[in-house]
Structure 1
Amino acid sequence: MDLKHLRAFVTVAEQLHFAHSAEQLGVSPPTLTAQIQALERLLQARLFQRTRRSVALTAAGEAFLVEARAALAQVERALETGRRAGRGQLGRVDIGYVGSAVFSGALQAQVLHFRRRWPQVQLGTCELPTAQLVQQLEEGQLDVAFVRTPVVLPSSVASHVVARDRFCLALAADHPLAGSGQALASRVLAGEAFVAPEQGLGLREVARRGRFDPHIVSVPGSLQAVLAQVALGAGIAVVPSVLVQVVHLPNVVYRDIAGAVIPSEVAALFRRHERAPAVRQLIQQIRQVKCPA
């Protein structure tokens, strides 16, 4: 028995007319009769009582109609589930991120927009150090990762910038350089103790401009941990300027860096040849983000 036999039976059971049912199914009346007879032989039961003028369901036919309808409905649900999964409307996407991606709002914007468009796709999120994010992405444990660039990437991983800001300085409020409120030249930072964030681009550029080797006293990891060290007087830090608006810790002040802006970027990382439809939907959404230079 296959689906065409079930559909033939249900159509005849609802129409109670073989000629009309055959026309609806797009088959000849003899073909439809043969399908019903094959089904009756399989079930070893008469499904219809036929006369020259009428067609009626037998008791076996009535009982079988309930199950046949349920079976066809289940098949249709299965087919629709498969179609939706193939379109990326179902499934799961695992996202990793560094904390500054949350501070920038880039991660939230992508997740919220994706959930509105594809509410039945499950999203998993976790915060990890950059090195682990890249490794887990390459190994397939994560599908998309949000990081601060630059990051060394394997050839199988691509990136797309989703947010831009600039670097600034975080200092303890009682630090001698904190009082003026003016932008600080890189050269005046020579000899300072630095608390280094995971992404060291900003600090390296400040040191290059100031022509000094930075004295790094701590590398605590996340930006929150960096600012905590600054608040405790361990040193100063070069951090993304987005923190000025979103993180306010007692005894921490922010100052601009004099000279040309030192840009900072948040990028989404993903596999170049992704096959999972749901993940591809998120990647397509991410690629639509256009950040001003």
Structure 2
Amino acid sequence: MLELKLLRSFVLLAEELHFGRAAERLHIVQPALTQQIQSLERQIGTPLLNRTRGRISLTDAGALVLAEARKTLEQAARTEAIGRLAGRGEVGRLEIGYVGSAGLSALMPALLRDFRGSHPGVDLALAEMAVGNQLAAISAGTLDLGFIRLPPLSLPSGIAVLPLAPEGLVVAVPADHPLAALEAVPVARLAAEPMVLHHPASGAELRNQIDDLCRRHGFSPQVVQAVPQVALTIRLVAAGLGISLVPQTTTWLTVAGVVYRPLADGDARYELALAYRQDDPAPAVRAFLALAEKVVHPNNGI
């Protein structure tokens, strides 16, 4: 295996064609340079230089070796540079999961935008996944980060969460519904209403929050349709199938015939958070978490 040091010495000597000048550029004494070139020639097994009357020139083999040595040194420099960038989290790839409702929040797109701006060399691969699937994938190492909703049904060992943005639930009702006339809707008023709610298989955390809220007010929701996506939920409300409880960030979805009203006495919290492996040493992961922490807690000085 040829040493990069010997190749560098040979390239400089080939540029100068003078042992003294080349040795000076290398900051070594001339005999040391001579020994390096002789060592390189022995390893390659053929002379690289013609030495005639105190003058030197490249042999045919030397000219070919020079071209390859320059390529090798350039590749080594690129490898070193990429290693440094990767060590600072400036290149690489992040696999990021998210629940559908996270995409409705302004925070997730803003974090992705800011991270891409500060780390353009890091590819961001996004995949919509239920919270449970995200946590399993993070544990398995196939996902780096996950935008999830708190509280999760269970949190695997070794997974940590960074809370990002708490929010409440609001009532989505048809514009001509009697509840639309209220400034805020008491939870008890929902007991007699047919409801379009998130399917537990696609949004168990949201559905658990809604079911628990209703139980605490003495009733179970009358679910007429369970759906996998918030956007579809709002469309079905507009079609008159029923009313719904949705995350507060959903209110930016303007659908004709649907209005949103806050709960008068609901205390359900549906918090957006980042999940990650607690012992993950990946610099890009740490850089993303640092950015999220800075956005959420700008006065912490991180």
**TM-score, with structure 1 as normaliser:** 0.88
Q: Secondary structure at the match of 2:147?
A: strand
Could you tell me which runs of 5 or more consecutive residues in structure 2 were left unpaired when the two chains were aligned: none
CA shift at 1:266, angstroms?
0.9
Q: Secondary structure at the match of 2:161?
A: strand
Counterpart of 1:243? 250
Counterpart code for 1:137: I
Q: Secondary structure at the match of 2:195?
A: strand
CA shift at 1:4, angstroms?
1.6
Counterpart of 1:288? 294
Q: Secondary structure at the match of 2:287?
A: helix
Asked if residue 230 in structure 1 is aligned to residue 230 in structure 2, the reply is: no
Asked if residue 254 in structure 1 is aligned to residue 260 in structure 2, the reply is: yes
Equivalence map 1:4-19=2 (5 Å): 4-19=5-20
CA shift at 1:269, angstroms?
0.9
Share of identical aligned residues, percent?
Answer: 37
Equivalence map 1:42-191=2 (5 Å): 42-52=44-54, 54-151=55-152, 152-178=154-180, 180-191=181-192
Q: Higher helix fraction: Structure 1 or Structure 2?
A: 2
Counterpart of 2:275? 269
Aligned to 2:224, which of 217, 220, 224? 217
Q: Deviations along 1:236-274, whole A, 9 cap, x unmatched?
A: 211112222x21223322111113654332111111111
CA shift at 1:108, angstroms?
0.8
Counterpart of 1:22? 23
Counterpart code for 1:220: V
Could you tell me which runs of 5 or more consecutive residues in structure 1 were left unpaired when the two chains were aligned: none
CA distance in 1, matches of 2:82, 2:284: 13
Deviates further, 114-123 or 37-46: 37-46
Q: Contact between 1:188 and 1:210, CA under 8 Å: does it hold in 2?
A: no
Q: Secondary structure at the match of 1:153?
A: coil
Q: Secondary structure at the match of 1:30?
A: helix
Counterpart of 2:40? 39
Q: Contact between 1:189 and 1:210, CA under 8 Å: does it hold in 2?
A: no
CA distance in 2, matches of 1:146, 1:218: 26
Q: Secondary structure at the match of 2:178?
A: coil
Q: Contact between 1:161 and 1:291, CA under 8 Å: does it hold in 2?
A: no
Q: Relative to 1, partners in 2 of residues 1:233 and 1:46: Cα closer, same or farther, differing over 3 Å?
A: closer
Counterpart code for 2:274: A
Counterpart code for 1:196: L
CA shift at 1:162, angstroms?
2.0
Q: Deviations along 1:196-217, whole A, 9 cap, x unmatched?
A: 2221355245425533232233
Q: Secondary structure at the match of 1:142?
A: coil
Q: Contact between 1:202 and 1:238, CA under 8 Å: does it hold in 2?
A: no
